[in-house]
Amino acid sequence: MTTETHQASQGRNHITGKYSDIFKYTNKVLDLIEKEDISQEEAAWITKETVNNFRDHVNPGFLAYRKSVTLDGQFAAVEWKDSGPNCFMDVNGKEYIDCLGGFGIYNVGHRHPKVVKAVTNQLNRQALHSQDLLDPLRAILAKIVADITPGDLKYAFFANSGTETVEAALKLAKMYSNRTTFIATTRAFHGKSLGSLSGTAKGVFRKPFLPMIPGFKHVHFGDIEMMRKTMEACAMVGEEVAGVLVEPIQGEGGVILPPDGYLKQLRELCDEFGALLIFDEVQTGMGRTGKMFCCEHYDVVPDIMCLAKAFGGGIMPAGAVIATEEVFKSFFPNPFMHTTTFGGNPLACAAAIATFNVLIEENLPARAAELGDYMMKGLREAAVGYEDKVLEIRGKGLLIGIEFATDEIGYEVSKGLFDNGVLVAGTLINAKTIRIEPPLTITYEQADRVIAEFRAVLGTISLS
Ligand SMILES: *Cc1c(COP(=O)(O)O)cnc(C)c1O
C-alpha cells in the first residue's frame, strides 16, 4: 500500500468480510490514540472498554485487586497520558503525582525530551536491527556502560527486561564456572521467569511452579555467618557455589538496606570460595539511590551486574547485564550461546544512551540523594504521633520504604494517597511496606504535597 492510499483509508471502514468488525474497532482506537484531547464521551467509552476487556480478556483479578486498593468508583481509574515529567493523568483529567515511578522505571522523569528525541530520531532512520550487520548503537552503548559502571566491568549483553538480565547472568555464571549452585537471599526479588524466579524468594510466587532450576539455595539477607556456613557446606558436598545473587538494597522486599559491612563481606566470601558476586541493580541502578549505582555506596564491585527498569529512560523496555572480561570471555568462542531477537535493538540503545546523558547532565543521582533526604525527613516528621501505625521509614536516595504496623494500615494509607492524587507502590512481597520511588526529577513542591497528603491520610485512619 502506498503512503497515499494508506492515509486515504484511515478512518474509513471500507473492509468487508470476516475481519470488518475488528478493522472498524482498530480504526476507532487508532483515531483515539492520535487525538491530543479526548471528549467526556470518549473517556467514558475508553473506561467501559478497558473494564470490560480486563474482565473478559486480560484478567478479572486485576479489577478485584484495584477494588481492594481504591475507593468505590476509583477502581476504574484508567490512565491516558503523562502530565509533565512527574505526574500521570487519567481519562477523566485527574492528576496523580507519580511516587511509584513504575517501580523504578522513570528515573529521568516521564518522556524526558532528550530521550524522546533520541528514540524518535532513531525511529525515523531505522527502527530495529538487521540481525546481521554490526549495529553501531549496541557497541557504543556497551562502551558507555563499561565506562560508567564501577571497577573492571567491561562486557555487556543487552536484554528487554530485568528478568532477562538475571537469566543471562545465571547462564553466564554457569558457563564461566562449570558450577550449578547459586545462593540468593530471603525476600529477594529477581523476576518471574523460571530462572530468575528460582532466585526470587517469595513462596507464594514460587510454590505452584516448583521445582525451580536445581541448585538454588536461599539464606537470610544480611546474615553473613549463614552465608559462610552455606558456602562451606556446599563446598564440602561437592556442590561449589557458582554465584551469589543479591540486590544491594532489596526493593520489592520492602526497601531493606544491607547491614553495615555486609556487601563487602559478601565480596570477600565469594572470592574465598571462588564464587561470582552478582548484583541485581535492576531497581537500585541508574541513580535511584543517590549514586549512579547502589554498589558505589558500599565500595563493592560485583563480577556481574544486572540493569533494567530505568535503563530505557522510561521510554523503551531495555536491560543490560555487564560482567568483567574474565567472566564474560566464556561467551567469546560462541557468541550465540545466549541471544535475544529484540535485546539491544537500536531504539532501546538510543533510549539508554540518552538516559545516561540526562542522568549526567542533570546530576540526577545527586538530586536523588538530596530529594531523598528531604522526603525521608518530611515523611518521618509527618509520622510523629502515629508510632502505633508507622513502624519505620527507611531508604536511600529516592528509594524509600514506609513500614506499617499491619497490612490493613498500609492498604488504607495507599488507598487514601491514591484518592488524593498520589500514586505509591504497595510492595508485592511485603504488603506492610509501601514504597516511595518517584522520578528523580520530582520537585520540592511535589515532595511537599506528598508529605502533606501522607500526614493528612494518617490522621484519618482509625485502624491500629
Ligand atoms: C523489577 C525487578 C526485576 C524484574 O524486572 P522485570 O523487568 O519486571 O522482568 C528483577 N530484579 C529486581 C531487583 C527488580 O526490582
Q: Are residues 266 and 128 in the same domain?
A: yes
Indicate whether 187 belongs to any domain: yes
End of a domain among 331, 361, 391?
361
pLDDT at 153: 98
- One domain, residues 405 and 308: no
Q: Classify strands 425-426 and 153-159 as parallel, antiparallel or unpaired.
A: unpaired
Q: Is the CB of 308 under 6 A from ligand 1?
A: yes
Mutate to test the pocket of ligand 1, among 103, 185, 190, 435 (most ligand atoms within 8 A of CB): 190
For residue 144, being part of any structural domain is answered with yes
The whole domain housing 123 covers 113-361
CATH number, domain at 234?
3.40.640.10
326/131 Cα distance (integer angstroms): 27
Q: Pick the residue whose CA is nearest to atom 8 on ligand 1.
A: 162
Q: How large is the C-alpha radius of gyration of the chain?
A: 23
CB 406 within 8 A of CB 430: no
Q: Is residue 23 part of a domain?
A: no
Report yes or no on 316 lying in a domain.
yes
Residue 255 in contact with ligand 1 by CB distance below 6 A: no
Cα–Cα dist 182/302, whole Å: 15
The DSSP result for 245-303, as a single string, is EE-SSBSTTT-BPPPTTHHHHHHHHHHHHTPEEEEE-TTTTTTTTSSSSTHHHHT---S
Domain count, the chain: 2
Task: Work out the average pLDDT over 45-68.
Answer: 91
CATH number at residue 431: 3.90.1150.10
The answer on 356 and 371 residing in a single domain is no
Say whether the peptide bond before residue 248 is cis (omega within 30 degrees of 0): no
Q: Does the beta carbon of 168 lie inside 6 Å of ligand 1?
A: no
Residue 282 Cβ < 6 Å to ligand 1: yes
Find out whether the beta carbon of 161 lies less than 6 Å from any atom of ligand 1: yes
Look at residues 256, 198, 262 and name the one whose alpha carbon lies nearest to residue 225: 262
* pLDDT score, position 434: 92
What number of other Cβ atoms are within 10 A of residue 208's Cβ? 6
Q: Is the pTM of this model over 0.85?
A: yes
State whether 271 and 133 are in the same domain. yes
Question: With a 6 A CB cut-off, is 165 part of the ligand 1 pocket?
Answer: no
Find out whether the beta carbon of 427 lies less than 6 Å from any atom of ligand 1. no
Q: Rounded to the nearest whole angstrom, what is the distance from the C-alpha of residue 16 to the centroid of ligand 1?
A: 44
Are 287 and 209 within one domain? yes
pLDDT value of position 428: 44
Distance 163 CA to ligand 1 centre (A): 6
29 domain-assigned: no
Domain C-terminal end among 321, 336, 361 = 361
* Residue 28 forms part of a structural domain: no
> How many C-beta atoms surround the C-beta of residue 213 within 10 A?
15
Strands 153-159 and 181-185: unpaired
- Same domain for 389 and 334: no
pLDDT, tens only, 70-125: 766 677 889 999 999 999 999 999 999 999 988 999 999 999 999 999 999 999 99
Kindly state whether residues 400 and 270 are assigned to the same domain.
no
Domain match, 222 and 82 both: no
Domain shared by 141 and 213, yes or no? yes
What is the edge-to-edge ordering of all strands in the sheet holding 425-426? 390-396, 399-404, 433-436, 425-426
Residue 155 CA to residue 215 CA, distance in Å, equals 26
Taking Cα atoms as reference points, which of 331, 321, 330 lies closest to residue 165?
321
SS3 425: strand
Asked whether residue 18 is assigned to any structural domain, the reply reads no
Element (H, E) at 115: helix 113-125
Say whether both 247 and 378 belong to one domain: no
Domain end (from 303, 337, 361): 361
310/397 same-domain check: no
Residue 14: pLDDT band with limits 50, 70, 90 = confident
* 249 and 255 Cβ atoms separated by less than 8 Å: yes
pLDDT at 5 over 80: no
Are residues 238 and 92 part of one domain? no
pLDDT digits (tens, 9 = 90+) for 249-300: 999 999 999 999 999 999 999 999 999 999 999 999 999 999 999 999 999 9
How high is the mean pLDDT of the chain? 94
Nearest CA to ligand 1 atom 10: 190
